[in-house]
Amino acid sequence: MSMPVLMYHDVVDAGMPDQSGFPGAAAAHYKLDTAHFTAHLHALASSGLHFPSVLAQEASADRTCLLTFDDGGESATRVATLLDRHGMRGHFFITTQRIGTAGFASAAELLALHRAGHVVGSHSHTHPADISSLDHAALAAQWVESRDRLEQILGEPVQVASVPGGFYTHRVARVVAAAGFRYLFTSEPTVAMHSVEACRVLGRYAVWHDTAARDALALATGEGSQRQRQWLSWNLKKPLKRWSRPVYQLVRRRWLGEHS
């Protein structure tokens, strides 16, 4: 099976990137202002695609795309309101240590998202800089603690998670599966899905602050070369990211500071 998935983060007022989610230039690179995000939704809504929950039966149908939002910023309520206008479902992945802190969604807001039909899932407990480098006990604790915290809020099992920072490995997926999650979203730019034990692993196409609505639409539909270009860029950077982590993160922070 295959499934296109778009990876968003926060939606903020123009010129106010620290309004929601993690602060700083690196995080701002992934945040769209409200007008820009609204244009994305109009373009996507005109595509003929469906935008369901991954847990819904229609998620396996043709002409389907999933929309995800990482980190758990306080803009989640704003995003959900905009999605509701188009009959779309969002997947909101929460850094549970940040729930109710400045810039992040509260427990009551997460429960409201869930009751409105959106998916609330885990983005780990603390959003470590490189979750794949943690030892087994620390890695398991990230997912178990996050899941338990969300289940206390929602009153239902939490089945969906996403990997923070893009540091996906097969070992990470095994630990996520052992923690009881059924779906794990990565940052790998692919529509291909595969299973690790009882967990279905899905890739995602990243959306940045300056991604044009037409390019988001192309990522969702597969038309044009946007998917291929993102795949090539990701795989060219992957060795640097994996084997030179401190240098990669320093260069990335400086580059984003200059280009955000």
> Does the structure show a pLDDT above 50 at 259?
no
152-207, pLDDT tens digit by residue? 999 999 999 999 999 999 999 999 999 999 999 999 999 999 999 999 999 999 99
Mean pLDDT of the chain: 92
Q: How confident is the model at residue 21 (pLDDT cuts 50, 70, 90)?
A: very high
Look up tokens 């993160």; give the residue. Answer: 249
Q: Between these two residues, 74 and 238, which has the higher pLDDT value?
A: 74
Q: Which CATH class is domain 5-259?
A: alpha beta
Model confidence band, residue 256 (pLDDT cutoffs 50, 70, 90): very low
Alpha-carbon span 176 to 28, nearest angstrom: 28
Considering only 46-50, 95-99, 143-147, 245-249, which range has the smallest mean pLDDT?
245-249
Q: Spell out the domain ranges in the chain.
A: 5-259
Among 10, 123, 127, residue whose Cα is nearest residue 76: 10
Please give the full DSSP string across 96-140, using - where no structure is assigned: GGGTTSTTB--HHHHHHHHHTT-EEEES-SS--TTGGGS-HHHHH
